[in-house]
Structures are given as C-alpha cells and as structure tokens.
Structure 1
Amino acid sequence: MNFGVDKVRAAVVGIDLHRGHLDIAVATMPASPEVARRVVAANRALFDWARTQAIPVIHCITQYRDGEEIRLNAFWRTRAEDPDNPRRNVMRHNLIGMPGGEVMPGLQDARDWVVDTKKRYNCFVATDLELLLRSHGINTLIVTGVNTNSCILSTVTAACSMDYAVIVPSDCVDTMDAPALHDAALLCIRTAFGFVMSSQEVMALPELRAA
C-alpha cells in the first residue's frame, strides 16, 4: 500500500490510554465502561503485535503540575463552568500524583517509550514527541487512543502538517463523547489527514512486517 513515504518507518502513538479516561473507579473524564473495555482490548492486541515487529510503542499521557496549566486554555475554562458538559471536570483532570495519569494495566511494556508531559489535545505541543520521533527516523505514525474527536484528531492534523504519514486503526480509538463525534472525526481524518482502517488490516500490512 502506498503511504507516501519511500520506506515506512513506523511507531505506534497511543494517546491518553490512562486511568483518567478508562478506569471508572478513578476517572475524572471517563469514557463509558463499554468503550473503555473495547479500546483497551484492541490496543493491547495491537501493541503486542507491534512489539513483535520491532515497531516502537509510545505512550503520550496527559499530566498537569497544577490547575493553572489547565486554566490557561480559554475554551476549557468554559467547559468547567458548564455542569452539564461531560468535560466539566477538566480543571482537576490528571494532576501529577493522581491515579488517572497511570497507563491502563496491560498496555505498557518495559520496551515502550513514554511522553508524559502532554498538556493539550495536540501531542506535539510542549512535549518532546517530535524529537523522539525524528531522532529514531520515524516517518509513519499509527495513532491510537482517546478521544477520537479531540486529542486524536488534533494530533493527526498536526502530524499531517508536519509531513508524517498517519494511520488510524478505527477500533483502537474511541471517545467519551457521542458516537457520532467519533464517526465524524474518523471521516475528517480519512478525507484529508491520514489512512483509516481496522487494526486487523494494519497488522496485515506487509510494509509493517519486521525484516
């Protein structure tokens, strides 16, 4: 398959697969239990496969020093003031030391890389993700995680503009918001920013097999 690069050098970028979204016992901005179970299971299978193919797995995790880092975002302040908004807990989401910042059990391996300074939807903002990718010659990103319609979409659009090839396994992303927003985000991605396919299709790609 033509991904627009001379030779695919891929990494998996798992975004916010942490307890703050996916463990209902501690989550401050939770996805539904059904969504959490489904996305964790799909990512576990993909990550396990990627490691067998010598494809690096990178965990991008949101963590804030304090609420002031969150309050700097004007729109997020409005979400915190709306008691009916599913993102109303944004001002106390994943502060350093909270259990929400932990990667969901079963997803992290000692061989993986971690970028735990993510503070905005776009994983490239105020992190060393680009340095990590460029220093290891990565030109193709397999982007997974939550939420499809915010962090996934924002990171994918940025990655496209930075000239990475982008693949999104549709069953490895999901959202705490309405299913229609998940579908709309995937439509936006496949239209203008990257390739959307199932994780089974990703794992069958000959371009991603270890030499």
Structure 2
Amino acid sequence: MTEEALDANYKRAFGKRIGFGARPALILIDFVEAYFDPACPLYAGVEDALASAIRLRDAARAAGVPVIYTNVVYDKGGRNGGRFYQKSMVLHHFIAGSPMGAWPKGLTVGEDELVISKQYPSAFFGTSLAATLTSWGIDTLILTGLSTSGCVRATCVDTCSYGFIPIVVREAVGDRHPAPHEANLFDMDAKYADVVSEAEATAYLHRIGQSQ
C-alpha cells in the first residue's frame, strides 16, 4: 500500500480533531537518564525531545498550568514489575536507586510539581493520576516523553479512555528509531489524540495563562 493510499484509507474513518480543552495539565513521561546515557541499552538519542519538553514545561509554569512527571521504579529484583518486567530485558535499570532512573541533566522538578512513579507503560495504570486530574478539574493532558511507541502511546490511549483530551506534542516525544516513532504518531493522531507542534502547544499554554 502506498503512502497516499494509506492516508486516503485512514481519512475515510479517522482523523477528526478534538481541539484543546479549557483546563490543561502537562505531563513529562519517563525523561530519565537511561535514555540519555550511551552506555545504557535504553539509550535513544532523544535530547531534542527533552529540550522541547523543557520549553513546554517552562511555558506551563508561566501560565500556571500544572506540571506532572513520571518515572519507572521497581523494588529489588523487580518483584512488583509483573509481566512487563518479565518481558523486557532492560527494566532492571529502573530498580530503586539506580542512576539510570535519575532525572537527566537539565531537568529539574519543582517542589510543588507532582512526580508519579509507575511500574507499567501507562502513567494511569496502578497510579492515582486519573483521580488527581479529576480533582484538579483538568480536561486536557498535554503529553511529552519517552518512548513514543511505548509509555507515551500507552498513556495517550488511557488519557482518552479516562475521558481527558490527549494532546501529543510531536517535537517533545521520542523513540529509539524513527519508524516506530512516526508510525505511532500517525496512529495516535488518527484514533486517540491530536498530535500538534510545539509551537501550537506553546501558543495554547500562552492563551491559558492570559485567561487566568
């Protein structure tokens, strides 16, 4: 199937835009050292995605929009990792205390910003994220993070499933290879989320800040 045929095929069934909501939060998914250390098998060369996410984080802070971070943390031996830990060969890098689970250089978490530690791909699974967003009156979740085909996609699908508007920022998500990155952006944009540019997301955050 050609690229043109694929686009035409999907446009018959998918591609409607949701649009931005009124009360957003920004989430930075799993920006941890493992993806930035070339010695780690999880290394993905995603420095540009981190830089984009930090710019959005700064815009969210300026607009008074809540900022949330996630990381992956396991007990010793991965005993709370279940089948995900069993399946993946690299999750031992996220045992509590591992330097690979630390925030990378340039990323600092504010004292008033929420960190959610998870054991599975979605930031919602087994965590308080949905209840927290609901209690804050949030209707839109702006997604940044790693990796596009893994934890970003899982979180995107659950964002939609829990009734929040998923906004995925193209420049602020990354993966270890362009093929799964682009395929998952295409599919999320078709079925679950609006994939937008950093410029669009920044302008949205600026409008939110002006309205408050």
* TM-score of the pair, normalised by structure 1: 0.83
Write the letter of the residue equivalent to 1:200: A
Measured after TM superposition, the shift of residue 29 of structure 1 is 1.7
Q: Residues 55-103 of structure 1, C-alpha deviation per residue, up to 9 Å, x if partnerless?
A: 1110011111132223x21x653443xxxxxxxx23x121101112222
Correspondences of 1:20-31 after superposition (within 5 Å): 20-24=34-38, 27=40, 29-31=42-44
Distance across 1 between alignment mates of 2:137 and 2:87: 40
Which of 3, 7, 29 is residue 15 of structure 1 equivalent to? 29
Distance across 2 between alignment mates of 1:77 and 1:132: 29
Write the letter of the residue equivalent to 2:198: S
Structure 1: stretches of 5+ with no match in the other structure = 81-88
8 A Cα contact 2:19 2:194, kept in partner: no
Distance across 1 between alignment mates of 2:18 and 2:210: 17
Where does residue 79 of structure 2 map in the other structure? 68
* TM-score of the pair, normalised by structure 2: 0.83
Where does residue 116 of structure 2 map in the other structure? 115
CA RMSD in angstroms comes to 2.0
8 A Cα contact 1:47 1:107, kept in partner: no
Structure 2: stretches of 5+ with no match in the other structure = 1-16
8 A Cα contact 1:54 1:210, kept in partner: no
Which of 59, 64, 77 is residue 54 of structure 1 equivalent to? 64
8 A Cα contact 2:62 2:209, kept in partner: no
8 A Cα contact 1:167 1:196, kept in partner: yes
Q: Structure 1 vs Structure 2: percent identity of aligned residues?
A: 30
Measured after TM superposition, the shift of residue 130 of structure 1 is 1.5
Distance across 1 between alignment mates of 2:123 and 2:32: 15
Measured after TM superposition, the shift of residue 22 of structure 1 is 2.4
Between the two proteins, the alignment pairs up a number of residues equal to 192
Where does residue 173 of structure 1 map in the other structure? 173
Write the letter of the residue equivalent to 1:30: Y
